Amino acid sequence: GAGRAFAAGADAREFDSDPKPPHLPDICDRIARCDVPWIAAIHGAALGGGAELALACRYRIARPDAMIGLPEVTLGVVPGAGGTQRLPRLIGIRAALDLIPAGKTVSGSNAKEIGLVDEVDDDPAGFAEMTNAEWLGMAVPVHELNSGEAGPDIFEAARETARTKMRGQIAPLRAIDLIERAMTAPFKEGMKEERATFLDLRQSGQARALRHVFFAERAAKAPAHLPRADLPDRVAVVGGGTMGAGIAYALLNAGLSVTLIETDAEGVDRARANVGKIIEASERRGLIDAAGAGARRAALTLTTDYADAAGAGLAIEAAFEAMEVKRDVFAALEAALPADAILASNTSYLDLDEIGAALSDPSRLVGLHFFAPAHIMKLLEIVRGAATSDGALATGFALAKRLRKVPVVAGVCDGFIGNRILARYREAADTVFMDGSTPWEVDEAMVEFGYAMGPYEAQDLSGLDIAHANRRRQDATRDPARRYIPIADRMVELGKLGRKTGAGWYRYPGGGGKVEDPIVADLALEEAHFAGLTRTDYSADEIRHRLILSMINEAADILAEGIAETAADIDLVTVFGYGFPRWRGGLMPHADTLGPAEVLRGLTTLAQEDPVAWRPSPMIEDCARKGIRFSEWRRG
């Protein structure tokens, strides 16, 4: 690797064609059985096939900061060149079960602790040259080692963990089966089974979907026509609430200095506490050490005076979601910051062009829509207003790169890409609830589909008051022909705002778990009675059918209107921002598995009961008419 990387694994693009010789299992076998013992001198990444090459060597030396692992399950496959057979023999069954089914990587230092490498050194190649030949001659090839034993309960616990943390995915469970075979089968037989499993899975629908997300994520970067943007060392953040504190911490984590502005001394104290909690939690979890925590606190300035942010080259507004508040903030920023500073809004729904209309130079304004928690969630919607300059847009991409986030450009509309799809998803869920279901039946149906949680549990987490405030904002412009479901408004009237009040769509007793609330179910019965409805008993399949079609239809309109540039952008938003199961490839590849004609048939049928909510998107009609996939559709 010449100091840069050992070997970062296979080129996943080759998985769509037949394997070509020389095959990696054969190469690893020749290395392992060679009369002259091989040494792996590992620096940088040794991932997938790279890690398998290292496992085939007689001796392994790594830099402390090397990155070693078998992440194949994240692409829907299992290791295919001995990973599931050699790793358990080297580090034991339990440690292998901790790494392979989750696709975890470890540092060189951690690898030494678990026995994955023999030595750690800053110069692994130099250390290798000095390795004692006698030690080397005594080293036993990994395939000759015994994996040790583990009881059936250990494997069942690993399977349960995989079912919970990698819900719906096939590869982790197949990997566990192969690790179990390493304990019971001869090495040659285990290798044969591993290779057959790898070749079978790499052409599976899940593997193709995961590869799609993998390549879409890597393609998410600044377009070539944008100018180069250099991020300033200091960034101002306005608003120290949950979102503002998360944004500030993300910036601090990236090595930037932050001036956080609040309205008064009480707000400053609250902001300091909010950022402090994140720093303390990160230190407690071992993500940063005491020195790192101190450095982050030192790089943070809290103030009520916009003049203290005069040296910032970028300002991100994360204030209350009201147009008059936003415009006041930007007027103050424009007065305090240099004329070439970029101004950004974290608004989730509001019209960026209306915000920018109050600026003397609206070309400086760009939307940077972070997702909560802002220091954890990978998605960043970069909203391009009518006047947004290429320089402002480029700054958004540069920030995303610095923060290691996935950038997606969105046009201006209510909710941009993600929240607009989310609103339609929740509307469909509320309609199902009103007409014949319960929140827990809806949630269960979507968890079975692959979501970590359903729409009602997710809303309990964020707070029902947030969605309520957004509905009130939309009252004046809501289509009177569109059906309105009032149940969520009644929840807010009852003070059931979610986890923070101990009760929302579910009740949250002192133990912390959620329980079904019969009061909530009764609300739907009451509202259906008031509306003169005869309720329907929806199956889980019907619930999923309606909610998924609602999202596909809204996404198609977003593409047709040019709010999103490509179908892959929709996929990145739904996967990284809203929990759509990654192994389904995102919303649009899943739509392609159904097919435009089938999607259109479903929407046409549903439109018979509500022609406003279920009107098929012209894009879907166009795809069905032309016989093309959603991913192939282009505007114009």
Residues marked as catalytic: 369
CA distances from 586 to 67, 300, 381, 598, 632 (A): 28, 37, 16, 18, 15
> Where are the alpha helices (H) located in 407-539, listed in sequence order?
418-436, 439-449, 455-462, 464-474, 487-493, 518-530
Cα atoms found within 13 Å of the Cα of residue 452, Cβ hemisphere only: 13
Q: Give the C-alpha separation, 217 to 568, whole Å.
A: 9
Cα atoms found within 13 Å of the Cα of residue 519, Cβ hemisphere only: 12
Q: Give the C-alpha separation, 404 to 398, whole Å.
A: 10
Cα angle 25, 27, 33; round to 5: 100
Helix, strand, or coil (residue 315) = strand
Q: Which amino acid is residue 138, in one-letter code?
A: M
Q: In which order are the strands placed within the sheet that holds 379-383?
A: 300-303, 257-261, 234-238, 314-317, 342-345, 365-370, 379-383, 406-410
Per the listing, tokens 């192939």 go with 632
Q: Give the C-alpha separation, 516 to 196, whole Å.
A: 45
Tokens representing 197?
């499993």
Q: Give the C-alpha separation, 494 to 273, whole Å.
A: 30
Through-space distance between the first and last CA atoms of the chain, rounded to whole angstroms? 47
Q: Give the C-alpha separation, 343 to 330, whole Å.
A: 8
The closest alpha carbon to 270, from 249, 308, 239, 294, belongs to 239
Rg (CA), the chain: 27
Contact 425, 455 (CB under 8 A): yes
Q: What are phi and psi of 269, to 5 degrees?
A: -60, -40
Range list of β-strands (E), 70-188: 105-107, 119-120
Tokens representing 298?
């030192």
Strands 257-261 and 234-238: parallel
Contact 421, 573 (CB under 8 A): yes
